[in-house]
Chains A and B, each alone.
Chain A
Amino acid sequence: MKTSNIICGLALAAAGLISSCKKDYLNIVPTDRILGSAVLADSMLFQDYIINRYMSIRLQDKEGEGTNPGFGRGFEYGLWSSISDESIYNNDDNTWVIQQGQMAPENTGIAGTIWGRSYRSIRECNFALNNIDSVPMSDGLKKKLRAELRFIRAFRYHDLIRNYGGVVLMGDKEYSLSDNLTNPDMFKRSTIKECIDYAAGELTAAAADLPLKNDGSWLLGRATKGAALALKARLLLYAASPLYNAGSWQAAADAAKAVMELSQYSIDNDYAKLFLSPNSNEIIFERVYAVSARHVCLEISNGPNGYNGWAGNTPLQNLVDAYEMSNGKPISDPASGYDPQNPYANRDARFYASILYNGAPYRNSTIQVFTPGGKDSKDGPSNWNTTKTGYYLRKFMDDKNPIDNPWDVAGLQPWIYMRYAEVLLNYAEAENEAVGPNASVYEAINQIRQRASVKQPPLTPGLSQSEMREAIRRERQVELAFEEHRFYDVRRWKIADVTENTPAYGIDVTVSNGVYKYTRKVALANRAFKTKHYWLPIPRAEIQASNNQLEQNFGY
């Protein structure tokens, strides 16, 4: 620019006002962000990038409270359990749309974010996988990191498959904005089997190179060999299940067995404390938290109104009824000793560890959901926050955390993605389906029932295969309550059209002359489930973005 130079010179000479006429005046180097090339040039930065892949982005309000979400849903205000028959979210907040069978591609409630979140993470993993060769670091480390990335990517597919069925497999493709994003090939959904095979294969490969355990050089919170194998076992169990019909029970049993044979994990003695700290030997893979990087403060968001809690996720009678008596008999068994007017006496110890019920001891007091006058009922303070079901959540609650003003203090419980009890249950189920209720099935289940703090009697010997199936299903329902299993289990077993069409029951407790009267009630009307709801709908915006080339799930 000649003229600019002349004028610039003139300016300098005439007024001396111009502070700078430097040629690179317009070229500013940012100080608050770095280039991708810098990330690839430095092995520490590259590892910093990989670490964040255990999380993905927030895609909805009230998601990722505290820190960005990881896999699945995890600890949020509305738990995933509140779109199943385990609990209801007291104040709706986009959960009832699913409970009441109104879920549609345009209305996915809290369940609409897994699609986008997973694919974003897959692309990010692919960037790292495609470029890791150029990063200056040892081959040994590269091998481990490659395995870690493939684990994360497979976990994203796990999230996609169990919600949407057969999805689009990306391989190592890393789309960019300059690609043709309307290319029909981009939207071809693979079959469930193809997806499972791909993800399981990735996990097999990842397991080969991942460390056996977390230690000082592979800190707690990173995936291990056991994590990869356990996730694979879960996927293969799903694949063998009736809804998927894309694998064999034997393969599922073998996969679970492979985790058991690692001999790295054991059943924790204390069922209640297991969920409060990240260090249990039962935990296979988890998300850990810290002050300034927390999740939802569970105690205030789920606590009873009499304690200034907000009664968020309130357990349903449907789940309460699944807990056996402490004598090992289901309450439906006339010999169980169950008294509907004294319903909480002598139940499975896990009931007391998971659910707050009328009369339950809690924080130097007892729960009072009775009317008139109960402090945790509508007659208590903040009555808009009272439970509709007659129960409050106990599991995960850490009594060391304050209910009032917990911000910056609470929200540190680990979210357990996989624990050993699940592996045993996976094994038992697969083995029972593959070969029948042999001793190893009993052994697996009884290990869980015999947990020191639980001590449920062993299963009655001599169960038929289908009796064993029922027992295992009940055991899963109880043992894994609120842990994001039930929603998927009832679907893969194809019993959701029964269980999810059962009304959402709660309990009404009234007191008169010191005597409690328990009456079942409907806690949330119009609960409904339609066949199409076996899979989630792909969000409407996504179908439209694909110009209707992406096939929607059946029925939507």
Chain B
Amino acid sequence: MLTFLLLLIGSGAWAQQGTVTGTVTSGPDHVPGVTVRIKNKTTGTLTNANGSFSITAVPGDTLVFSHMSYQEQIYVVKNFSPVKISLDGLSKSVNEVVVVGYGTQKKATLTGSISVVKGAELVQSPQPNVSNSLTGRFPGIIANNRSGEPGYDGSRITIRGLATTGNNDVLMVVDGVPGQIGGLERLDPNDIESISILKDASAAIYGSRAANGVMLITTKQGQTGKPVINYFFNQGFSSPTRLPKMADAATYAQIMNEIQYYNNPAGGMNQFYSAEQLQKFKDGSDPVNYPNTDWQKATLRKMTTQNQHSLSVRGGSDNIKYYLSIGMINQNGLYKDGATKYNQYNFRSNITADVTSRLKVGLYLSGRQEDRQYPTTGAGAIFRGIYRAYPTVLDRYPNGLPTTGIENNNPIMQVTDAGGLNRNPSQVFNGILKGSYAIPGVEGLSLDGYLSADKSWNFGKNFSTPYKVYTLNKTTGAYDPTVVGGSNGLPTLNESQENVTMITSNIKLNFARHFGAHNVNAFVGYEQSKTSDELFGASRRNFPTPQAPELSQGGAAATDKDNFGSSWNFTRRSILGRLAYDYQEKYLLELQARRDGSSTFPEGKQWGFFPSVSAGWRVTNEPWFKPVKFINDLKLRGSYGSLGNDNVGMFQYFNNYSFVNQYVLNGVIQTGIDLTKLANPNITWEVAKKMDLGLNMTFLKDFYLEFVYFQQKRSKILTQRNSSVPQLSGIVNPVGSDPLVPAENIGKVNSGGIEGLLGYTHTTKGGFRYDISGNITYAKNKIIFIDEAAGALSYQRQTGRPMNTYLLYNAIGIFRTQEDLDKYPHLPGAKLGDLILEDYNNDKQITADDQVRSKYGNIPEITYGLSLNGSYKGFDLFILFAGQTHVSQYVLPESGTIGNFYSSWADNRWSPDNVNGSYPRVDERASSSVNGGRYPNTFWMNNASFLRLKNVSLGYTIHSDLLTRWKVSSLRIYANAFNLLTFTRVKDYDPEGDSGSGQFYPQQRIMNIGVNLKF
């Protein structure tokens, strides 16, 4: 489908230097910024705003036209008549090459399920966190953004949903290094050339780490030709997508009265606030004593800022090519006078050199500084404070002094640096030295390899300082201070340093050759890696002064000092290979295998074998298919393979005893030892058998379609026997820390589903290029075996149901009348206004046997996206909708006398005065209320389906001679918005969250404006 449009006019004189002029177009558009260079010479230029160029050449020279968004094009100079070059956009190209595991492959001959996104698409709507850029773009990727806190605002990415009860993390491979330290999230999107997502058995080449899918991130490399300097700036304005509306003071005061009434009905309805007091809350006549505080407004800004700069230069000669970049990201927190900040500085230097025609080397160096700064109170606690804090309490007195808020936690102070700072600067360095050598004597035989060194340094310094909050003493009129923060009224310091190193080396022997119509591409390789982690830290208490926040300046007593430290090592060793064969690019076959050894497992169980096979048939390459005109390209493909998951805790193969020093004798803490992990001497891999059947098609010239059916059987899932082991055996797991029982290879999960992608791309005669595509993923999983109690009830078992479901009582209404109470079986002491829980097993009482499993968990079964890409003249437009359905989220707010209520509950609560309320009566504490945490029920489970306008971006590329005069080859200005609109039935919080209490730093809606300059 690649078309060369060479318009050669006549033929002229030979071997005579002259000027070649011409224009470069793509469809009807002129393309500025195309690098035009002469092959094997240093001469080069760029097309101007009108796509025109002029270059000095001699006949016989080969002009190379290159641009990151288009297929490279060549033109052999014959004479000096103006030339017209037409470029093809990359996405349509059959010759497009995609990065696959340990190599590249022509997209046309791919046999695996691999989705690719180009860096150029990511920077169209830049995110400080790359993981947020992947949502909705292609089928099979489920990315859920759970928090918007600067520095921790990534999306949880899963490929084709959940497939194991164990770890579902995708393996990130950056520039060929599996699990590169630093990962994907904090890469500068401008540095990314492409991301390939291996969703099926094509990932098997990554063996024991491939089961959850693999993402291959490739950074930009140099290009031969005149250097291109690219400057990119983005200014963002972010605000929460949504925050729950909370009850106002008058409502909350009334609720307090109701709670007291339920605790002691004899006391009547005004046990807490009299009618006059309620009136004062209502009319605001005494705002100091009867305030109506909006804690969100008091603590949070409406909007905060973030920006990104990136500057790169890309160029090279035929022998040395380079890509150099620096970048910077600044993000501010949402808090008023807040201490939260994220700053990132990154650099990259990717240099490749052809030492001889056979020997090539490359050095890839990158590093970044990630400066995270937070108040000493964490985001979870701050938002807990904001949602709990009572509207009936002032945030500040009229004289500006902060109040004690809620139990001396005043969110407006907690967000600031008044209580000290928690700084977590960390640095990441990645260095890769690559080499390849074409072995003489055998055509197509080559050796390549790399040595990579990754290192991260994570520093933490948390200095907590005391500060004052105030209480107005109503009798004396004085503001009594209370010292909070620090400890014992004095500062405390915690400092720690964690260094992680990973050394990976790899060597491969490759063979690639055509034998007539037979193409062979194969390699065998060896790889090993060692990861070391070292951590140490110290704490000090009772600092005499906050002026000297150093370990050396802390309290002098022995009990003021504490230290800690730990380290671990982890090694892997692998042998791997691939054989790809095709006949005329028509019949495609690929075999892959990897043998992996891992130090996680005991000797004798360390090695696992992971083979895969895939095949494809390009039907349209069959001569007999030619008459079918409306199908331009059709490929059928399939793959099957065995992949592994070794993402479990180390050293589970022997009984672990650890020092836990807590018991005190005679006032002194004793050295103590606990058994912390029982042995599983047989621990080994989790195995995934993946099957994938797919179809890729282009039809009616402009339509493209992909359809995949996939199936996966996970077995030997490493999971703990938590439920079937009776506690009286003495094998009992603690809450909130590592279980005593080891992981055992006992779990089984089957999953499967379909992926579909349909797109239409077209350029009108008027020059309007557009591309509309929609994608959908349906991924369902079913637990085949999970450890469950022998006596678990059939309808409560997880076996046979999807993972992550909830076990809840069915709430079927509210007791509104005495007849209701008489009619329905109910809990002892049930009252009017309580939820009616369904007597599911009809035993006339409500017990745990009436709980039922929910249909869905909080990972969606169905995700979909719809994107529109358009350009006209200098304008470009990108719109992306992303949505999810078949998903549930349970959220029970921490309400009661313990904290404020969502107004949806407060305003619609059942009460003796509002017997038609749609929410149950209020209670002391939702978490232990019969209507809440004590009998967790479906009333608090929401259908978390949503459709979101994830991304809208509008850009304009200015073509102007003025710019040309300033050596600016292109200038693009743009505006875009992230998470702009959300359509959902969830009322109070962002449906993408996964917090069961709703207390988290909310997802952000980000508006960006930016500019992209090329010189």
Contacts and interface: CB of A to CB of B under 8 A. Distances in A.
A32 B828 CA distance: 50
Contacts of B266: 521-522
A26 B505 contact: no
A547 to B, nearest CB: 3
B570 A58 contact: no
A343 interface: no
Contacts of A405: 408, 466, 482-489
Given A67-B662, A97-B928, A179-B729, A310 B791 contact: no
B636 interface: no
A341 B677 CA distance: 61
B663 A119 contact: no
A292 to B, nearest CB: 6
Contacts of B503: 19
A290 B657 contact: no
Contact of B678 (A176, A220, A382, A542): A176
B675 A177 contact: no
B665 A220 contact: yes
A434 B239 CA distance: 76
Given A93-B928, A293-B669, A383-B272, A308 B404 contact: yes
Interface stretch (B14-22, B204-212, B717-725, B946-954): B717-725
B918 interface: no
B928 A384 contact: no
Interface stretch (A45-53, A198-206, A260-268, A509-517): A45-53
Given A404-B482, A405-B483, A544-B790, A51 B657 contact: no
B734 A32 contact: no
A303 to B, nearest CB: 11
A39 B659 CA distance: 11
Contacts of A273: none
B997 interface: no
A91 B899 CA distance: 11
Contacts of A142: none
B263 A378 contact: no
A409 B662 contact: no
Contacts of A60: 735
Contacts of B929: 92
A100 B829 contact: yes
Contacts of A493: none
B265 interface: yes
A58 B736 contact: yes
Interface stretch (A120-128, A247-255, A315-323, A331-339): A120-128
Interface stretch (A101-109, A353-361, A460-468, A471-479): A101-109
A234 to B, nearest CB: 23
Interface string A56-73: 011111010001100000
B730 A170 contact: yes
Contacts of B740: 120
A546 B569 contact: no
Given A11-B507, A92-B928, A548-B791, A52 B673 contact: yes
A243 interface: no
Interface string A413-442: 000000000000000000000000000000
A54 interface: yes
A19 B828 contact: no
Contact of A120 (B485, B575, B732, B897): B732
Interface in B402-425: 404, 406-408
B598 A308 contact: no
Interface in B582-605: 595, 597-599, 603
B91 interface: no
A523 B726 contact: no
Contacts of A94: 928, 934
Contacts of A51: 663, 665, 670-672
B674 interface: yes
A25 B651 CA distance: 15
- Determine which residue in A26, A54, A61, A219 has the highest number of CB atoms from chain B within 10 A of its CB, and name it: A26
B764 interface: no
A435 to B, nearest CB: 39
A488 interface: no
Interface in A6-30: 7-8, 10-11, 14-15, 17-21, 25-28, 30
A378 B482 CA distance: 20
Interface string B721-757: 1011111111111111100111010000000000000
Interface in B105-154: none
B267 interface: yes
Contact of B662 (A8, A28, A293): A293
Given A52-B662, A523-B264, A543-B791, A119 B730 contact: yes
B365 interface: no
| Chain B contact patch, size range | 35 or more
A175 B731 contact: yes
A123 B731 contact: yes
B848 interface: yes
Given A58-B734, A168-B728, A525-B264, A220 B666 contact: yes
Given A123-B730, A220-B665, A101 B404 contact: no
A33 B656 contact: yes
Interface stretch (A181-189, A224-232, A446-454, A494-502): A181-189
A199 B1010 CA distance: 76
A31 interface: yes
A54 B673 CA distance: 12
A292 B466 CA distance: 19
Contacts of B407: 308, 310, 382, 385
Nearest to B827: A102
B664 to A, nearest CB: 5
Given A7-B524, A93-B925, A402-B488, A542 B569 contact: no
B483 A27 contact: no
Contact of B730 (A124, A293, A383): A124
Given A32-B658, A51-B670, A17 B451 contact: yes
B664 A289 contact: yes
- Determine which residue in A94, A170, A381, A550 has the highest number of CB atoms from chain B within 10 A of its CB, and name it: A381
A66 to B, nearest CB: 9
B828 A187 contact: no
Contacts of B664: 221, 287-290, 293
Given A52-B660, A404-B482, A36 B675 contact: yes
A407 interface: yes
29 contacts: A1-B575, A7-B524, A19-B505, A33-B651, A38-B657, A51-B663, A96-B924, A104-B848, A115-B727, A120-B727, A123-B731, A124-B730, A177-B680, A179-B729, A182-B790, A186-B726, A219-B665, A278-B667, A290-B667, A290-B669, A310-B407, A382-B407, A384-B898, A405-B466, A408-B541, A525-B262, A525-B263, A525-B265, A545-B727
Interface of A: 1, 3-4, 7-8, 10-11, 14-15, 17-21, 25-28, 30-36, 38-39, 45, 48-49, 51-52, 54-55, 57-61, 63, 67-68, 91-94, 96-97, 100-102, 104-107, 115-117, 119-124, 126-127, 167-168, 170, 174-177, 179, 181-182, 186-187, 214, 219-222, 278, 287-293, 308, 310, 373, 378, 381-385, 388, 402, 404-409, 508, 521-526, 528, 539-548, 550
Interface of B: 256, 262-267, 272, 390, 404, 406-408, 433, 435, 447, 449-451, 466, 471, 474, 482-489, 492, 503, 505-507, 509, 524-526, 528, 530, 541, 559, 562, 566-573, 575, 595, 597-599, 603, 606, 650-651, 654-678, 680, 721, 723-737, 740-742, 744, 789-792, 827-829, 847-848, 896-898, 924-925, 928-930, 934-935
Given A220-B665, A290-B664, 18 more contacts: A15-B505, A17-B450, A17-B451, A19-B530, A26-B598, A26-B603, A32-B568, A48-B672, A52-B673, A58-B735, A60-B735, A101-B829, A176-B731, A177-B731, A290-B669, A407-B487, A539-B727, A542-B728
Q: Which 9 A-B pairs have the closest CB atoms?
A: A123-B730, A106-B848, A547-B790, A544-B789, A219-B665, A52-B672, A544-B791, A57-B734, A116-B727
